Amino acid sequence: MSLKTIIKNDLWHINYIVPFTAKYLQYGKLGYLKRALPVIAKVRVVKGAGKRDVSKDILELMHNVNLEVIEDSSFFYWIDEYKTIAVKGNVLSNFCIDYDRVVNGSFNDIADKAVSIGGIYGERAAHVKEAINALRNRTIVTLKQYCADHIRRARSILEFEDILEKPAEHFHEGLQRVLFFNQYMWQTRHGLNGLGRLDKILDRLYQNDIASGAIAKDEAYEMVKDFMNTLNKWYVFKSSSILGDIGQIVILGGLNPDGSYFCNDLTYMFIKAQAENRKPDPKTFLRVCKNMPEELLGVAVDALKSKTGSPLFSNDDVVIPQLKQFGMPEEDIYNYCVSACWEPFIPGKSLDQNNIKAFDFFKPLDKALKENSLSDIRSFNALMTLYEKSLEKEWKAFLKGLDEYIWACDPFVSMMTDGCNEKGKDISLGGAQNCNYGVTSIGMGSVVDSLLNLKELVYDKKKYTLQELNDWRQKDYKGEENVFQELRSMPKRYAHDDEESIGLTNRIIQFSNNVVKDYINPIGGKIKFGLSSPFYIRDAKGVAADFAGRKKGDPYSTHISSIDATYTEVVNFAGKLDYSGHAFNGNVVDFFVSPSFIENNTEKFKLFMKAAINIGYFQMQMNIMDSKTLIDAKQHPDKYPGLIVRVWGFSAYFNDLPEDYKNVLIERAIESEKAA
Amino acid sequence: MTSMPNEKILITKIQRFSLHDGPGIRTTIFLKGCSLHCPWCCNPENISHEIEPYWRNGIEGKWGNWYSQEELYNEVIKDKGYYIGELGKEDFFIKDKKDIARLPGGVTFSGGEALLQIKAYKDLLEILGGEGVHRTIETSLFASKEQVRNAIENFDLFYVDIKMLEADKCRKTLGGDKNLYIDNLDYLIRSEKPIIFRVPIIRGYTDSEENIDRIVQLILKIKSSNILKIELLKGHRLGEQKYLDLKKEVPKMKDISDEELLLMKKTMSSTGVHTEIHKI
């Protein structure tokens, strides 16, 4: 069992401090201490009376959190970042509750159903019901005491009086409910909290208010902007491993079961509001497909020009069939959202922890070459067999490591998730309908390019032996700079529409599918994996050099990308990958596009985006940024306080990033400008 | 796909996702070999008709690779999914500049002088045309009449350069026969194929009052409805590194100001043909 797992599972009474300070590690040891110590000094753990139980702790917490009114928001939203609870196990994160249930339904009814199950499950549900009601009641008291504006006070108080008892009736009220339960999730240590399909969830309320004349469209738009600005608060507290890694993602649009496309005024409003607000979080995620309105795709491309990295595009024509073939019920798959970044997730039905760990596809090659006699590897087929044997071993050890995870008891999320009531079982113990694990991955580009270079140099041209190339690689090419440059200058083939590269990538994916297909985790779920990952810098640090221009510790390429491929090449590549089986846990094509390029060629870029959907990429995100700006920002951060970049699946202020992330982004921007 | 004759074509680059070489999203094929030697050329690697070496960071490379028509076809077709637009092949014969944006993407042949090797790739053009791929050529028209005829038969849109129209300067500076150009232009005009004129505005070469006036008079004389628009191109230094790599002297070009370019635009507009400044 890893040290990290021991801390989370067994030292839970002190591990509560970790969520508050992980993001400060990017500043180095002294920087960490400078920032973390004041936070550590202020944070208080709240404990319930009597025998320790998470639901009693939650109840006590909701009676004690400090509540204040934010003056520059028409909503009530407050997180007491210095009070928390200590919980055994991993608190569910990278997660989205089904806000539809509390916006268009009654939370108290939901809670009562859970309470009626009885036993410890029911008791915990009762405590959580009491806790959330207490939070509501204290909010009303706070509003009455502190609101200066009479009209605002009246509306907010009315909204809170009914917030748990019956479906919302108005648009602003619906947005307030999302904020209230979102606040609860952050307050109870859940991180990377997604927001779900807000255009769909709020559709009824919006349409009714517009039809009755209660609000006009421009008022609704201002509410959406206000809502997004409100969620942006507590930026540092909410950040996970790096500042900006917050995960508040609004899912918009989407294919309907009958083949039509869902979107409404709110779809457009959220996209425009996010672009206008120019903040890195919350972010938007647009589900696209062939028959979506061109106008909406055009609006999304225009939003990219705000240079905040939103929206991310998810191709329903590709994603939904994969969810179906995995065995997810038809009625659920069209409602998919994502975990914090891009991993498909069904809200209200799932525990699915989709960013549980990153698998490195390059490491098995590194290990295979270190641990075996290479003189017997006389053909490329033999090399592939060696790699696959090592890959299988690596997957099996990796999967075994996933069994260590214990999930924190979560009565609130349990009552909000199908399956838990029915089984009378907390979500952490496997109560949910879906209990799958999702894995991200790194190193696929490195291993594919390395294998193809070895094929050419060792087996086709017989220029070097495998042994000598590997010996040089293991010395990090010291004294063999010419060889390193030769390997580095060989055409990159991963993420290009090169049939051999596509074939090899699919071979590795399908081999992996075969290895993981029988894995069942301790709570009865399966595994999914994808070709994107947050950890292309962090997890590459200790990894040996490859055969394609990476030296020891250099970052891997980001998601599905190549430094020298044109946009059409990368999309063509992505369109030919096999995402079937278990390989659909997020597969993001990642681009750099210079702002002048998109400004001067907007209409053609829209054509490209439309064609790309038909080509069949899985998901796509882009950084609208040029190298000149990034280089200047690195040297003169004061000039660019608001410069936002896309990092892995989130956006962040460039100035907040660790130096190695800045360097990677600069290098990628330079290379993409050359390729363009 | 029908197999094509095996004659090879000398290419320096196949550029995918080209946005400035015609409508929509295109694949641009840069052919090696030119009939001119314009001092401001930003593609010096395309002037010589032969494969030539270059050096960058101490590493030798070469400009020029031989492609068969089939190999070129396989390259062009990779991005066929992006060659989208409102108009189908039956409507490629446009007469209004507004319809340029409605044309689909496709393939553009450029260079160098794309006409010089057309005999070697005309079968490819026919096949692409049959498949509905829009075909554009960027040409100076300094080629033989037969080459122009092949182009008229197989291209859907012509970008035609107008450079120096004083015969002596055309010969001495560019190495071109102005009369040949005028004859070819006349032949092209009579075909009624859609044409976009490209006028490079280069200080000390094409920007003189006399040359601009000759261009205006030429266009006024043509009076053809198939001239869709005029694009004015400012000289640029994007090709400078290529001169250094080829160990050739970098041309010293003086800049034209944006104000001067706007004046040129006004002058060209007096022809009655829509004129715009082409941004790179």
Model pLDDT for residues A11-51, shown as the tens digit of each residue: 665 667 777 787 888 888 898 889 888 888 888 889 998 88
Return the number of other C-beta atoms located less than 10 Å from residue A327's C-beta: 9
Question: CB distance from A614 to chain B under 8 Å?
Answer: yes
Provide the 3-class DSSP secondary structure of residue A45: strand
Chain B: closest CA distance from residue A335 (Å): 29
Which of A623, A619, A661 is CA-nearest to residue A341? A619
Integer Cα distance of A516 and A394 in angstroms: 11
Judging contacts by C-beta atoms under 8 Å, the chain B residues touching residue A604 are 19, 24-25
Instruction: Give the pairing type, strands B195-201 and A651-653.
Output: unpaired
Share of chain B above pLDDT 70, in %: 98
Name the H helices within chain B. Answer: 69-76, 118-130, 145-154, 167-169, 178-191, 209-222, 240-245, 258-269
Q: What is the pTM of this model?
A: 0.93
- Contact B238/A at CB under 8 A: no
**A281 shares contact with chain B (CB less than 8 Å):** no
Q: Which residues contact A4 (CB under 8 A, 6 or more apart)?
A: none
Residue with tokens 């059409």: A568
Could you identify the residue written with the tokens 């055969």? A547
Q: Identify the pLDDT of residue A428.
A: 97
Closest CA to A284 of A358, A198, A363: A198
The C-alpha R_g of chain A, in whole angstroms, comes to 25
Determine whether the interchain pair B24/A489 forms a contact, defined as Cβ–Cβ distance below 8 Å: no
pLDDT of residue A14: 66
- SS3 (DSSP) at A298: helix
Tell me if chain A has a CB within 8 Å of the CB of B82.
Answer: yes
Confidence of residue B2 (pLDDT cuts 50, 70, 90): low
Q: Is B279 on the interface with A (CB under 8 A)?
A: yes
Tell me how close the Cα of A483 comes to any Cα of chain B, in angstroms: 13
Whether B134 contacts B23, CB under 8 Å: yes
Q: Which whole number is the average pLDDT over B170-194?
A: 96
Question: Tell me, what's the pLDDT at A4?
Answer: 67
User: Is A673 part of the contact surface with chain B (CB cutoff 8 Å)?
Assistant: no
Question: CA–CA separation, A546 vs A531, rounded Å?
Answer: 18
The pLDDT score that the predictor gives to residue B258 is 87
Question: What integer pLDDT is reported at residue A279 of this predicted model?
Answer: 93
Using DSSP's 3-state secondary structure scheme, residue A137 falls into helix
User: What is the Cα–Cα distance from A5 to A586, expressed in whole angstroms?
Assistant: 25
Contact B25 A611 (CB under 8 A): yes
- Considering only the beta carbons, identify the residue of A568, A610, A614 that sits closest to B17: A568
A603 touches chain B (CB under 8 A): yes
Contact list, B101 vs chain A (CB under 8 Å) = 603
- B84 contacts A607? CB cut-off 8 A: yes
The DSSP result for A384-431, as a single string, is HHHHHHHHHHHHHHHHHHHTT--BPP-HHHHHTSTTHHHHT--GGGT-
Q: DSSP readout, A275-291?
A: HHHT-SSSEEEEEE-TT
Phi and psi (nearest 5°) for A243? -60, 130
Interchain contact B85–A (C-beta under 8 A): yes
| pLDDT averaged per 10 residues, chain A (length 676) | 65 70 84 88 89 94 95 94 91 95 98 98 98 98 79 83 97 98 97 97 98 98 98 94 92 97 98 96 97 97 93 98 96 94 95 95 97 94 98 98 95 98 97 97 97 98 97 97 94 94 98 98 97 90 96 94 91 97 96 88 94 97 89 89 81 85 88 77
Q: Which two tokens stand for residue A198?
A: 């807000």
Residue B75 contacts A where some CB pair is shorter than 8 Å = no
Nearest to A292 by CA among A663, A653, A613: A613
Residue with tokens 């031989």: B66
For A481-548, what is the HEC assignment?
A: HHHHHHHHHCCCCCCCCCHHHHHHHHHHHHHHHHHHCCCCCCCCCCEEECCCCCCCCHHHCCCCCCCC
Contact A603/B101, CB-based, under 8 Å?
yes
A569 contacts B19? CB cut-off 8 A: no
What number of other Cβ atoms are within 10 A of residue A13's Cβ? 12
Nearest to A355 by CA among A646, A12, A649: A649
Instruction: Read off the tokens for A546.
Output: 């490859």
What mean pLDDT is reported for chain A?
Answer: 93
Tally C-beta pairs within 8 A across A and B.
41
The pair of structure tokens assigned to A180 is 């209230």
Neighbours of A50 (CB within 10 A): 7
Chain A residues with CB inside 8 Å of B77's CB? Answer: none
Q: How far apart are CA A228 and CA B90, in angstroms?
A: 49
Q: Is the N-terminal amide bond of A282 cis, ω within 30° of 0?
A: yes
CB B26 within 8 A of CB B126: no
Nearest to A472, CA basis, from A444, A495, A498, A453: A453
What are the structure tokens assigned to B82, written together? 């992006």
Q: For position A658, what pLDDT does the model report?
A: 84
